[in-house]
Structure 1
Amino acid sequence: MNAFGDRIRELRKSKGYSLRKLAPLVSVGFSYLSKVERGRLDFDGSPSESLIHRLADVLEADEEELLLLAHHVPDAIAQQIFDHPNLFRALARCSDRQLKAIERQAYERAK
């Protein structure tokens, strides 16, 4: 599963860009961008944060969503973790069921 690459492909196609058209707009080669979309990068399998920022800008996408899909922690989230370490330690010990319940409650309160 390559959620990041799939999302980039979806965004690219929705803008009507080919790989060859998008690549120079984000300052990479089209073959590299193809590897990003297919999840076939040679090193750790994740594009740089710099490329993610450029992709979000050109594709008018949610940068935070793209960073998370690429397994990068956005700065705002990282800061919350550092500011509230006990909360995040407790969350890390929760089961998936407990986390889903907490997530539902948080969304309800945010409305």
Structure 2
Amino acid sequence: VITDIEGSTALWDMLEQQVMDRVLALHHTAVREVCGRCAGYESGTEGDAFVLAFHNARDAVLFGTEVQEALMRCNWPEELLAVEVCKPLYVTPLSQRQLSQQAADAAKPGQQATG
């Protein structure tokens, strides 16, 4: 498994070094903790990228899902969360009525569902 923080070069240009140092520390801690729990091996790092090995595909997939959850729980600096691509995204489940309306819209010939 190879990991990489998408857009990190742009983040380095936008944010102060101490903010990015904290971001990388949080990221690296999360990746390393989850890698260990999933019986992974850290083969190498370069910047914000990791090269990880696992005994089997199941452990690698488990790492992928668990590291995403761990990263979601990190206490990211406010400066990072102010960047447009890093802003929190809040999702609310659709009501039964909204789901029914989407299904009805999708069933209409020549119509596209908007969801």
Instruction: Pick the TM interval, shorter chain.
Output: 0.3 to 0.5
Which of the pair has the greater relative contact order for Cα pairs under 8 Å at 6+ separation?
Answer: 2
TM-score (norm 2): 0.36
Structure showing the higher strand proportion among its residues: 2
Q: Which of these two proteins has the greater Rg computed from alpha carbons?
A: 2
TM-score (norm 1): 0.37
